[in-house]
Amino acid sequence: PHYLLLDDTALEGYDSHKKMNPPLREKSDQEALVAALVDGTLDCVATDHAPHTEAEKQRELAYAPFGVTGLETSLAAVLTRLVHTGLMKLPAALALLTSRPAAILGLDGGRLEAGAPADLVLFDPEEAWTVRGAEMASKGRNTAFEGMSLTGRVRATVLGGQVVYAREGEAERFSPRPWRAVASHA
């Protein structure tokens, strides 16, 4: 999702927190990506959640590893760029992150109906917030969006019917739960 909001000008300061693979492209490429999502040419948005330690990302750009933390900002990036600009309605944008990837991978998920897995994200689509790497839940806090204002914030995550993450005000609560293997038919 970082390609929706950032282009190659973000690297003008040689900020290794914005070093990713594939690298950020020109504004015209970003606009083509957005257009392809809006017109349905592209089916989904995937996250590039490649966290690194602060020490790794503090190296000079040429020596720093590729990758950024993307999972915690993915929903807000999609909402900020596609929904809050009026390019896409909320249900269509959510499908890019949920039902479409599930269908492509042959997973029984990405939908809210009786018998479907109770894997949900509760969010406030209108909450504006400023991204701060130091506040990320991931062990890697190398966000390409440091200091950027995004709109749309996750309030809770439910996995298998169990609340595994909840944000109440500025307080966060985690309930550790072992990851479960998901068989893919792809």
Query: Would you please indicate which residues are annotated as catalytic (active-site) residues?
Result: 48
Instruction: Tell me how far CA of residue 155 lies from CA of 32, 58, 72, 99, 104, in angstroms.
Output: 31, 31, 11, 20, 27
- Contact present, 100 and 40 (Cβ < 8 Å): no
**What are 61-67's contacts with CB under 8 Å, separation 24+?**
61/11, 61/14, 61/15, 61/16, 61/19, 64/16, 64/19, 65/19, 66/19, 66/20, 66/21, 67/19, 67/20, 67/21, 67/142
Q: What is the DSSP string of 33-64?
A: HHHHHHTTSS------B----HHHHTS-TTTS
Tokens 């590729």 found at: 66
Two tokens at 92? 């269509």
- Contact present, 99 and 21 (Cβ < 8 Å): no
